[in-house]
Every structure is written in structure tokens, then in C-alpha cells.
Structure 1
């Protein structure tokens, strides 16, 4: 303060010098806003097109009656690949045998010669419908390799007994298999070559946020997206669990090498739907209620950020990166659209995180500019736009589209898990975007390493757990 109480003008210069810096930051922020807004807008248009197709085709339609059971019930081979699954495989297979008494079901569990604990757990079930198939190589190999051993075990059983199976059912070691699913497959095959029932992740109250975001994603994907794919005649991917494939179709896919599952793929289950479609056959998601309960496969999903990122990075690597190389862009318009949707995960993860970063940048600049303007005593130009810019309107449109997508997400979660979980689905979307972004980074790194080494993909399985008795009935 100068003598006489007048302000010292020299003290303002450091603040005034920040004005051009803030102007440059404003220009950068504006350009980033445009980039983010355009990316979000394009992704939103894609999602809303699917929403509108679902609303027109399914939202107000009653559930279609199922075809009648065939006069002669079919025989089913249920195959479960299991590496280091001694903690869950006994409970899973034991519950399966208790809830499905059908003598026409045969359960094949793939185990490795260097995993005696898993083999012992399978043998301890004590049901003559359960057969352990020991692989020819020590584990872990790949999930597809284990599945191929199981397929050959199915063929050996047919040759030994002289009885053919109607279909092969895919499940994992942590799955709660729906007792009504077998009859559902029997009704729909062979009119459908592949039948997929919904997957409902089991709610875990202790990890409501991480495991809960799987509930949100599967509730929407398996009630809306997969149904729209069927409506458009596009391939419906297998989820790898709760999938039944007609036996003769699987034999066609196996070829002379008796290997229907490609061991070079990280997502052999996802590719199965496309391969069935390319044979000119139909695969569909079938949603049916029996006794007021949705026929679905239930299971716990990863409950920590680290395990969720590892699992999703494998999905992204197999679907969005190596899947691009392996499956290309063959097919009609609907098929190519769905392939683009499957592969946009890397793009949307990056755009979502950029959007959060820009929002934080805007808030910080607003605070800094207010502080500089007040202390320097000079007005500052607008942060983002001038009076004639269309950017504010574009941002408002994006906000409306985002609101619509959050409402849809909450609606599907609420329909599957109740209105409270539906409300949680909206803030959980932020965590889901963060997990997907971390998974995208890991997927790109993993893919580059695989290209450089040329090594076969690793199984990359996560730790599994099986629910206590009665837990699974609380879902769906």
C-alpha cells in the first residue's frame, strides 16, 4: 500500500500477466469441449437408435409363448472348463445335480493333470452324470483349449454309449445354472442353432459399486441390446455361459480337427455367435419367465477395481482389437453396425474420461479467472464462447442425451434388481467409465505385447466364488 492509502499499481502486474495465459487456456478448453461433445454426441446417437428400436419392438409387447416341448426330450451335454477351481467347482456341480434331476443331462468338467484339487472336488460330487475330462497338457493352457478337450470328451461319450446329444451347453465354474434352462433349450432347438439366456450378476452388498456396475451393464445389454440384435437379424454373441449350441452345428464348427473353439482367441465365446451366423443359422437371446422368475444364469462378478479391470481388458482385447483382425467387417448393414458398437468401447472410454477432465478444467478456470479478475481489477473475456456460438446449445443437447441414457440405464437395472439399485445405477456410471478407461489402456498394452511376442493368449481368469444357499434367489 502506497502512502496516502492508494493501491500500489505495481502489485497488479503479475496478475495482469496471467490474462493472456487464461485466454490461451480458454481457447484450449473450447476446442476440447468441441472434441468431447462431438464424440459423446455420436456415441449417444448410436445408443439412442438402439433404445428406439427396443421401444418399438419390445417395450410394449407381451412375452411370446414358448414353443412346446418336443415329444421326445433331448439329451444335453453341459461342459465346464475348470483350471484351479477347487474352491467353487464342487459347490457349483453339486447344486446343479440337485436342482436338475433330468437323467438326460450329462455334465463334463475339464480339469488339468497338474490340478489334483479341482479333480478331487469334481469326483467328490458323487453323481454318475458327472464326468471329469482330463486334458492332455498341464495347465493352464487357454479356456478354448480346455473347451476343445471337453468337446472331444462329449464325442467319446457318444461313441461309447451310442447315444447322441441334442445340444452342448456352456457354463463356467462359478455359475448358478437355472433349473428351467434345460427345458427352454429343448423347446427352442433346433429352430434356433444357438440359444443364449440372460446373465444376471448377483448383487454383493459389500461391494455395491464395483460389482454393482456389472449388474447395470448386463441388465441393459441382455434385456435390450441383444434383443435388438435379434430383431435386426444381426449375430447375437454367446456370453460363454448359459449358451446352448445344437450338437451338429458345433460339429460343423469343429471341422476335421475336432476343435470348435479357437485357441488363438481371447473371446472364443463372443466369436461363436458370429461363426454360427456365417453358417446361415440363427442364434438368439431368449428371455422367458417360469413361475414369475426370469430364466437366467446368475453368478458373482469381480468385486475390486483391479479384478474388474483385468477381466474387462481381456474382453476389450478380444472383441475390440484382435476381434477386428479375426472377424473383419463382413456382413450386412445391421451386422456391421453391431460390430462397430462392440468395438467402440475403446473410443467411448477415452471420450468419457476426456469429458470428465474437461469438466474439471472448466471449473478450475472459472475459479482462477474470478480470483484474477477480482484482484487485478480488469474484466476478462468469456471463458468458452462468444454470444453467437452454438457450443452452449450443443452442450445442452448432449446433457439431455446423457440424461436419457442414464434414465434408460436406471430403468433396466431397476427392472432387474429393484428401484433402489436403479437409482444407484446413475452415479455408478461414473465408476463404470473409469473402470472401462483403465481396462482400455490395459487392453491396448496387452494387444501390443501379443503382437510383438506372437505368443498364444493366456487364460487370464479371475478368482471365483460361489454363492451360499439361497443368495442367488434374491436376484431377478
Structure 2
């Protein structure tokens, strides 16, 4: 026996109940937050405002060959396995002669340089830009170097680009995306199109778990955010920024460059930065005449450590640095959305506590079978909280299945529900890693490009996915 007359097992049961109450309350708060977004989306759906309309560039005066120059920025560091396929595909589906693709490389990355030059050597629409600094710096710093190259070309040619489109080295762009961005930027300063991760047969659990996350976020979350008039954070790919808005943002920064070189998720900050300046940001979700979602498609990390590292970067910048650098906003809807953006560390903590509760409950159950202790009945309040959380979890499974099945089919929708425990484990690991990384950053550590590793992917398979 120990102090208070409790045995060690009884203390474990007591701790389990306290943690259960903690996790239950915060799960319920999160459930109410998600349910509010669900209700908003359902209302938009009923009123027709969430309907994914059909966009047919062939029937509109939005063809890229209209003469307005667009610049595409593609930063690359150690992307020799994917950059060639990406550039060839982009040139194939976007035949616009006025298009200029700026590829940012580093002199100490000869393999990526060689792969990019193999395509650029026979194509005058590609502008290969070699950074003066040794890589990796940060992705934002590489983008700033591309911006300076664009300014140089504009000064020489006397023609200013109409907009800048951002893409990563592994992206397979949609043939209609450029026309849709062009049309949507009329009356807007920034446009974000959906991102559609591709399911991976060789990585049904880790690599494919991004499918349901983006299907729900870009099928519901950003749709609601756009309808409420909140600022749209960029995903870093499939987004277009009006040239004037980018110039205004650059004028506010040191060096007259638009991207925050010290950030690891400069895309998120860029979107909210333009919204804070009073710019009009939009999330645009459209389908092609063949019912294909016009979106950026790509393979996401298929290994657990790579997925954790990528999500660590997202949590670190959005939750921690985002709070430091962007602060809050006076508008209630912006406060709500930024709270949602920055909930990652708290979500990781609550999930970790929930799994600890399951472990302690298992120990208590075994102890009860052995007659060592007897479980006390749940209080009416705790029982009600748990019942509400169970109902919320069931509802979340329905929503996750529905949004995933809409884009990928019923089989992937069922797998999305089965992947929930793994998704939670990745969130816990990323949250812990992000917290420690943030603590280290307070000591003045210089940020570096903590990029995602990309394996080779067949361009033909990607083309078939959007054909």
C-alpha cells in the first residue's frame, strides 16, 4: 500500500479516470468545432454554393494562348528522380507559348541540374536558375531567387507577367489548371486549386493516408473557409498569385522579395499575408467536362519517417512559427480559422493521452479480472461526454468515408476509415517532433530546407490518372 490507502493498481485506475476526463473534454471541444464546419458545408451544399461546377476552357475565352505571360516557379533540391518527368508533363499539357517555367537549382546539386538541363536544353520555355548560395537554403529562399530572375526577364523584355503559379518538383499538373487559374484571377489576387494525392498500391497505409486528409480539407474545409471570406492559406502547389499582389507583398519585406526566407512553410504565410493586405483570396474547386477534378496530383511520402518529417514541418511552421510571425486577427472568422490551423500540437497531446488511457484501461481490466481491484462506475457527466465523443467519432468516420469515396471510390473510402489509428500515430509523432524543433529554434538555429523525399514515379501512370 502507498499513501492515501491506495494500492499501485488503484492509483493507476484513478489516473486513468482523470486522463479520460481530460481527453474526453478536449475531444468534445474539437468535435464541436468540426461539427460547426460540417454544418456550414451542409448548408452550402443545400443552397448550391458548395456544388463543384464544370469548367470547360474550350468554351471560354480563357485559353492560355491569349498572349498573357504566366510564370511557373518550381524550386528543386535533390529532385533528380522526379524533376524531368514533371517538366516534360507540364510542357506537354500546357502548350502555351507565352508560358515560362522557372526551375530553381543549386550548383552543389549536380544530379538535379543535369536532369533539369536534359529537358531545358531543347525547350526555350524553361528558364533554369542556379542559386548563388550552396544548397539547401530554404524553399522560400529558392523561390525568392526565382522571383528576382523573373524581375530581370521582365525588365529585359519589357513585358510583365500576369501571374505567378507555384508548383513542386514532383507535381503532375492538370491540363485545365492554367486556364482555370487565369479565369479565377480576374477579380482575385490569389487562387488555390485542390491538391489530390494519388493512392499508392505499394503503400496503402502510409503513402495513401494523405488521400482522405486532402479530400476532406479541400472538399469541405477550404470550401467553407472561402465561403466565409476568410484568408486562404496556400498549399504551395496549384496556386496562382496575381503579379501585382506579389509585388506589393515584396515591397513590405527586406530585399524586395515576396517569400519569407526564414520560414519552412512560406506558402501558408504567403496566402494569409496577401489576405491581411486586403487582397482577395479564393479557393476554386471545379471539374472538367469528363467529371475529372481539376487538381494537382502527386505521390506523397510512402515511408513512416518521411511522412512524420513532412508533417512535422507543417505543424512547426503553422502552429508555432505562425503564431509568432502572423499573430492573430481581429475578425472573428479569421480567429476561428487560425485556431483551427494551430491546433496540431494540442491534437497530438490529446491523442497521446487517449492512447495512454486505453493502455491504463487495459491494465485496469486485467486487474479487475484478477480480483485485485474493482472499477468504479462512470459518473453521469463523464458517461455523457464519452457517449457524445463516440457519436462524434462515428460521424467523423462517415464524413471521412464520404469525402474520400467521392474522389477515390468506396474501397479507398473504407481504407480511409481503417487508417484512422495510423493517422493519429503520425500526428502524435509529428507534434512531438515539432515541439522539440520549435524549442531548438528559440536558440537561434538557422532554418534549412527540410524537404520531403520523393521516389521515382512513372509519368505515364500520372497521365493516365488525369486522362
- TM-score tier by shorter-chain length is over 0.9
**Contact (CA 8 Å) 2:79, 2:169: kept in 1 or not?**
yes
* Displacement of 1:139: 1.1
Match of 2:362 in 1: 363
Alpha-carbon distance in 2 for matches of 1:21, 1:244: 60
Match of 1:456 in 2: 446
* Displacement of 1:343: 0.6
Aligned residues: 451
* Displacement of 1:385: 2.6
Which of these residues, 40, 56, 59, is aligned with residue 43 of structure 2? 56
The 5 A counterparts of 1:2-401 are 20-58=7-45, 61=48, 62-64=51-53, 68-70=60-62, 72-125=66-119, 126-255=122-251, 257-291=255-289, 292-372=291-371, 381-385=374-378, 389-401=380-392
Alpha-carbon distance in 1 for matches of 2:165, 2:242: 9
Q: Deviations over 1:128-185 (max 9, x none)?
A: 1011011121111111110001011111111222222110000000000111111001
Unaligned runs of 5+ residues in structure 2 are none
Which of these residues, 451, 455, 461, is aligned with residue 465 of structure 1? 455
> CA RMSD for the aligned pairs?
2.0
Bigger Cα displacement from structure 2, 405-414 vs 115-124: 115-124
* Displacement of 1:350: 1.4
Q: Deviations over 1:326-349 (max 9, x none)?
A: 000123000010100011111111
Match of 1:424 in 2: 415
Bigger Cα displacement from structure 2, 358-367 vs 65-74: 65-74
**Contact (CA 8 Å) 1:366, 1:383: kept in 2 or not?**
no
* Displacement of 1:355: 1.1
Note closer, same or farther for the CA distance 1:65–1:205 as it changes in structure 2 (3 Å cut): closer
* Displacement of 1:88: 1.4
Greater C-alpha Rg: 1
**Contact (CA 8 Å) 1:202, 1:299: kept in 2 or not?**
yes
Alpha-carbon distance in 2 for matches of 1:49, 1:435: 25
* Displacement of 1:220: 0.6
* Displacement of 1:65: 6.0
For residue 401 of structure 1, give the secondary structure of its aligned residue in structure 2: helix
Which of these residues, 430, 438, 443, is aligned with residue 429 of structure 2? 438
For residue 209 of structure 1, give the secondary structure of its aligned residue in structure 2: coil
For residue 77 of structure 1, give the secondary structure of its aligned residue in structure 2: strand
Match of 1:4 in 2: none
Note closer, same or farther for the CA distance 1:212–1:65 as it changes in structure 2 (3 Å cut): closer
Alpha-carbon distance in 1 for matches of 2:362, 2:110: 58
For residue 79 of structure 1, give the secondary structure of its aligned residue in structure 2: strand
**Contact (CA 8 Å) 2:72, 2:101: kept in 1 or not?**
yes
* Displacement of 1:466: 4.7
For residue 470 of structure 1, give the secondary structure of its aligned residue in structure 2: helix
Question: TM-score normalised to the size of structure 1?
Answer: 0.91
Unaligned runs of 5+ residues in structure 1 are 1-13, 374-379
Alpha-carbon distance in 2 for matches of 1:208, 1:383: 41
Match of 1:3 in 2: none
**Contact (CA 8 Å) 1:300, 1:466: kept in 2 or not?**
no
For residue 421 of structure 2, give the secondary structure of its aligned residue in structure 1: helix
* Displacement of 1:417: 0.7
For residue 178 of structure 1, give the secondary structure of its aligned residue in structure 2: coil
For residue 13 of structure 2, give the secondary structure of its aligned residue in structure 1: helix
For residue 132 of structure 1, give the secondary structure of its aligned residue in structure 2: strand
Q: Deviations over 1:335-380 (max 9, x none)?
A: 010100011111111111211221232132122112126xxxxxx5
* Displacement of 1:288: 0.7
For residue 206 of structure 1, give the secondary structure of its aligned residue in structure 2: coil
* Displacement of 1:70: 5.0
Alpha-carbon distance in 1 for matches of 2:143, 2:257: 8
